[in-house]
Amino acid sequence: MSSKNIKAPYECMELKEYKLSDFVPEFSEFRQFDDLSRFGCENIEDNLIRLEKRGKIHFQNRVAICPSCKSHHAVKNGVYERKLIFLRIGEQICTVQKYKCKKCGKVFYSDLSSIVYPNSNITLPVIDCIENLYQIYGAGLHKIRFDLKQQHNIEISHQSIENILLNSNYEFNYETRSYSGYYLFDSLWVKINGEWNYILALFDVKLNTLVSIKLVDSEDSKTIYQFLNESLRNQEKKSIGTDLKHEYREAIDKLKVKHHFCKFHVKQAINKRFKDYFDKNQLKEEEFEELIDLKKHIFKILDAENLNDAKNLRKRLFERKFPQNTFTIKIVDKFIIPYFQKLTNHLENKNIPSTNNKIENIFQKIFPKHIKRTMKIEQGLLSRFMLKLNYWNIKNEKEKNHTSF
C-alpha cells in the first residue's frame, strides 16, 4: 500500500460514504460547533463547515453541489489555499476543499459566499465591523484602522478600508434622506478604557428612525452644537426635544431651533426639588400644604390639554399667593415662567412629542440600564452596540415598509 492510499479519504473518498473525521481525529464534529464567534463566523451558512487542524482553518461544504449541473454527486479533489482576514484572529491562510463532479466532471470549490465576497480576502464580519466603526468615528480612517488593530487584531490598509466604505451599501446616510424636521436628542454614557465617552443620538420623530449617532469624549454644549449642526445640515429644523441638561439648551438655542423639554424629565426634576426641600426644612403644616398645591398646579400646566388652558393656568400661578421664598422663586420665576414655551411646544404643534420616550426606548432596548451603568466596559462593547443599533434600524425600516402598504 502506498502512502497515497493512506491519505485516501482526504483525497478521493465520497463525502456521503466517509467523513474526514472518521480518519482524522482533529477534524471531528466536536470542533465544528465550538465558538464560531472566535473566528467572526457567526453568520456562516449551514452548508459551509469550518474545521480546524493544528490551528489552521479548513472550509468544506456539508453537501457539495456542482454549480454546473446541480448534481449532488461529487468527490473531494484536493484543496487550495486562500488568505482570509477574520475578526480577532486576523489574517489566516486557510484551505478550501475542491470537488470534482461525478456527473459532468467539472472541478469546483466549496462555496464561501456566506463569509466572503468572491474577489476579496476580507471576511464579511470584518466589513460589518468597519462599517460600524465608520458610523462612530465618521470619516476618520486612521481611527478606524487603529481600532481594528487594537480591538480586533486586524491590520489592513487605509486604501482597503476606503474601498470597503465606498462599496458599502449601508444606508446610514446623512445626506440622501429628507427628515421631517421634528427630532429628539439624547446621549448615552459609556466608559471605554476607563474614560467616559458619550454616544450622541438624534432621532426623527415622524420617520421613527435614528438620524445620526456619534461617539464623542465630551458632552459640552459646543460638541453638541457641532453634532446637531452637522447632522441637520440642509435638513428641515422644526423642533428638538431633550431632557433638561443646560448644555443641550445652549446648543439648541445657538442652532436657533425650537427646543422642547421632555415632560417626564421635567416632572421628575420638579418632584426631586420638592422632595429635597421637604427633607431639608421643617415646615409648618400650612406651608407644606401650600407647596403641595403649588406642585399640583405646575403639573396641571405640564398636563394641559391645549395651549389656552396652559396659559390660563400660568396666569393663575401669578395671581395665587403661593409662598414666596428662594425655593419657589427658583422653580416658578426661574424655570416655569421663562421656559414656559419649551414646556408647552407640544400643545401648539401636535408633531412635537411631549416626552423623549421614543429615543429612550431605543437606548433601553439595545442597551439595558444595568449594562449601561457598569463601570468597566469591555472592549468591543461599542461595536456590539452599533450592531444592535443597526439591527434595530433595519428591523424598524422593515416594519415601517410593511405598514405603509
**Least distance to Zn ion, CB of residue 60, Å:** 17
The smaller minimum CB distance to Zn ion, of residues 66 and 262, is found at: 66
The smaller minimum CB distance to Zn ion, of residues 73 and 245, is found at: 73
- Examine residue 69 and tell whether it contacts Zn ion (CB under 5 A): yes
* Residue among 289, 276, 228 nearest 256 (CA): 228
- Examine residue 122 and tell whether it contacts Zn ion (CB under 5 A): no
For the segment 210-239, give every residue that binds Zn ion (CB under 5 A).
none
Residue 234 and residue 216: Cα distance in Å, rounded?
23
Which region holds residue 78: left if phi is over 0, alpha if psi is between -120 and 50, else beta? Answer: left
Answer for which of 28, 37, 43, 68 binds Zn ion (CB under 5 A) is: 68
**Least distance to Zn ion, CB of residue 97, Å:** 16
**Least distance to Zn ion, CB of residue 62, Å:** 18
The smaller minimum CB distance to Zn ion, of residues 103 and 177, is found at: 103
Stretch in the footprint of Zn ion (CB under 5 A) among 65-73, 177-185, 209-217, 233-241: 65-73
Residue 291 and residue 283: Cα distance in Å, rounded?
10
- Examine residue 66 and tell whether it contacts Zn ion (CB under 5 A): yes
The smaller minimum CB distance to Zn ion, of residues 72 and 233, is found at: 72
Cα three-residue angle 353-357-359, rounded to 5 degrees: 100
**Least distance to Zn ion, CB of residue 73, Å:** 8
Stretch in the footprint of Zn ion (CB under 5 A) among 104-112, 147-155, 186-194, 244-252: 104-112
Q: Torsions phi, psi of 190, nearest 5?
A: -135, 145
Residue 351 and residue 240: Cα distance in Å, rounded?
11
**Least distance to Zn ion, CB of residue 152, Å:** 39
- Examine residue 8 and tell whether it contacts Zn ion (CB under 5 A): no
- Examine residue 104 and tell whether it contacts Zn ion (CB under 5 A): yes
Strands 74-86, 90-101: pairing is: antiparallel
Taking CA atoms, 364 is separated from 130, 203, 357, in Å, by 25, 14, 10
Coil, helix or strand at residue 216 = strand
**Least distance to Zn ion, CB of residue 68, Å:** 5
Residues that bind Zn ion (rule: CB under 5 A) add up to a total of 7
Cβ-based neighbour number of residue 94 at 10 Å:
21
Q: How far is CA 233 from the centre of its chain?
A: 22
Coil, helix or strand at residue 387 = helix
**Least distance to Zn ion, CB of residue 106, Å:** 5
The smaller minimum CB distance to Zn ion, of residues 101 and 133, is found at: 101
Cβ-based neighbour number of residue 59 at 10 Å:
23
Q: Which own/partner pairs from 286-290 qualify as long-range (CB within 8 Å, at least 24 positions apart)?
A: 287/323, 290/322, 290/323
Cβ-based neighbour number of residue 256 at 10 Å:
8
Stretch in the footprint of Zn ion (CB under 5 A) among 46-54, 71-79, 156-164, 382-390: 71-79
Decide if 90 contacts 154 (C-beta within 8 A): yes
Answer for which of 101, 215, 228, 366 binds Zn ion (CB under 5 A) is: 101
Answer for which of 7, 72, 103, 149 binds Zn ion (CB under 5 A) is: 103
Answer for which of 47, 71, 208, 351 binds Zn ion (CB under 5 A) is: 71
Stretch in the footprint of Zn ion (CB under 5 A) among 60-68, 141-149, 272-280, 373-381: 60-68
- Examine residue 63 and tell whether it contacts Zn ion (CB under 5 A): no
Stretch in the footprint of Zn ion (CB under 5 A) among 64-72, 132-140, 216-224, 360-368: 64-72
DSSP 64: -
Residue 126 and residue 84: Cα distance in Å, rounded?
10
The smaller minimum CB distance to Zn ion, of residues 101 and 310, is found at: 101
Please give the grid coordinates belonging to residue 78: 484536493
Applying CB under 5 A, the residues found at the interface with Zn ion are: 66, 68-69, 71, 101, 103-104
